[in-house]
Amino acid sequence: MVDLVFKKGRIVFLDGVREGDLVVNGGLIEEITLDYRGEAVRTIDCQGKFIFPGVIDSHVHMRVPGALYKEDFTTGSMAGVSAGVTGFLDMPNNTPPIISRKMLSEKRDLIGDNSFANYGFFFGATDDNFDEIKRIENIAGVKIFMGESTGNLIVRSDETIENIFSYGKFPVVVHAESQECLTRFAQQYAGEDARARSDFHSAVRPPECAREAVKHILHLAKKYNARVHIAHVSTAEELDVIRKFKSEKVTCEATPHHLIFDVSAYEKLGMRGKVNPPLRSSEDREALWAAIADGTIDVIASDHAPHLPSEKDVPYEQSSAGFPGIETMLPIVLDAVNRGLLDLPRAAKLLCDNPARIFGVKNKGHIEVGFDADLVVLDMEIERVVDNAKIMSRCGWTPYHGMMLKGWPISTIIGGEVIYEGAKFVSASRGREFRFS
């Protein structure tokens, strides 16, 4: 007798959607067949529903350590699991930043068994911690901030970047905004009149700064034939550069907020729309969708960066950059599928398989016999309004409040166990730290 059978589901593979039965046993996908006749502890009727790989959100900020009042691994993972995220990769710009083996060990101890989803970590680069990078184990990659963002992590030295690229053990994820360029524009827009502009944040961190950083980092990566992943690409100018360097080792991601919002959203969001990199023009937003269609963009990741409303609804200088996104990412993509902007197999590559492949997450990312049974059941007909009152993230709000989205996850399965269904958690099972190849 097997543990679990999904009957008559529309199974989303990377090369198409095919109806069948999916058999789970011992936490793994044991069989995929047209009509399973064996016995099971539990059978789930999936007729009319889609069986999708578990989503891996490869860019989140869970605020552990240092800011647990905004989010921790319990609240953040619950938010993700409720919306089909079975695993995530956490960034290192914490307080203090994760830049040593000791700090990473302490972070692991803080998390313990408090995450409902599987998880992994990025390690922060500085101008003087290369020896630590050479000694670290089991991480998703090394994060380089070329420009200042939340926290105080930044790498200013090309020698440091070249050392990391030449070492080559880990993928390198880059926040690509040139600090020199950001400083130049900050000086240019220093007057009070400029700060009165609703789109001031976008003006002071323009596409030019992102383009300069992307071009610079990709030239260095090419020199060492290194793996580099450009985080939260937001402009057509960046994409033009990336296409010139594109290879299996040069990958990039887009966020839902850069796909949905442009500078016109400041009118509604105010300071809640402040994010790094900032919201861009409608032409940039359209360029991102075109890059998804042509394969230039490899990943959609949330850049989940929760702050309390009280930290957002303040004057520009005090307002924190970033907002939550882990529990709205999959519904936003499914709504885009319903609107014909992409199909489900492409969504599975962007949200599941490519994150696993790029960062070396073992045995996850798509539906295949022998792979871990991390799965999501989708109802593509459900229409639901995003509501601040129903947000599970500790920050308690979302920039997508009031949006009607069509297509929602209804069950989340991790390691063959149903964790979330019927709009509630049905298991106390906890996630595990990813193992990386």
β-pairing, 172-175 with 141-145?
parallel
CATH classification of the domain holding 26: 2.30.40.10
Q: What is the DSSP annotation of 132-198?
A: HHHH--S-SEEEEESS--SSS-----HHHHHHHHHH-SS-EEEE---HHHHHHHHHHT-SHHHHTST
Residues 223 and 196 in one domain: yes
Alpha-carbon span 306 to 324, nearest angstrom: 5
For the chain, how many residues are written? 437
Assigned domain for 388 exists: no
- Active-site position among 262, 298, 303, 374: 303
pTM, whole model, 2 decimals?
Answer: 0.97
Is residue 117 domain-shared with residue 172, that is, in the same domain? yes
Asked, for residue 431, whether it belongs to a domain, the answer is no
* CB neighbourhood size of 137 (10 A): 9
Q: Is the same domain home to 22 and 110?
A: no
* Together in a domain, 47 and 138: no
pLDDT at 192: 63
231 belongs to a structural domain: yes
303 part of the active site: yes
76, 70 contact by CB (below 8 A)? no
Please check whether residue 387 lies inside any domain of the structure. Answer: no
- 420 contacts 377 by C-beta, under 8 angstroms: no
Question: Is residue 348 within a helix (H) or strand (E), and if so which, with residue range?
Answer: helix 344-348
d(CA 102, CA 435): 19
Within-domain flag for 430: no
Q: How far apart are CA 222 and CA 244, in angstroms?
A: 11
What is the per-residue pLDDT for 194?
62
Whether 391 is covered by a domain: the verdict is no
Q: Are 337 and 194 in the same domain?
A: yes
- The DSSP annotation for 186-243 comes to HHHT-SHHHHTSTTHHHHHS-HHHHHHHHHHHHHHHHHHT--EEE-S---HHHHHHHH
Regarding whether 301 and 376 lie in a shared domain, the answer is no
Is residue 32 domain-shared with residue 47, that is, in the same domain?
Answer: yes
What CATH number does the domain containing 351 carry? 3.20.20.140
Number of domains in the chain: 2
Shared domain check, 82 and 174: yes
The verdict on residue 333 lying in a domain is yes
> Measuring CA to CA, which residue among 351, 137, 170 is closest to residue 249?
170
Mean pLDDT by 10 residues, the chain (437 residues): 98 98 98 97 98 98 97 98 98 97 98 97 97 97 90 90 97 97 90 74 96 98 98 98 98 98 96 97 98 98 98 93 97 98 98 98 98 98 98 98 98 98 96 96
Strands 250-254 and 28-33 come out as unpaired
In a domain, 392, yes or no: no
174 vs 229: CA distance, rounded Å = 6
Q: Which domain holds residue 39?
A: 2-51+369-382+400-425
Tell whether 303 and 290 lie within a shared domain: yes
157 and 273 housed in the same domain: yes
Work out the number of other CB atoms within 10 angstroms of the CB of residue 192. Answer: 6
Q: Are residue 268 and residue 409 in the same domain, yes or no?
A: no
Verify that 41 and 89 share a domain, yes or no: no
pLDDT at 188: 87
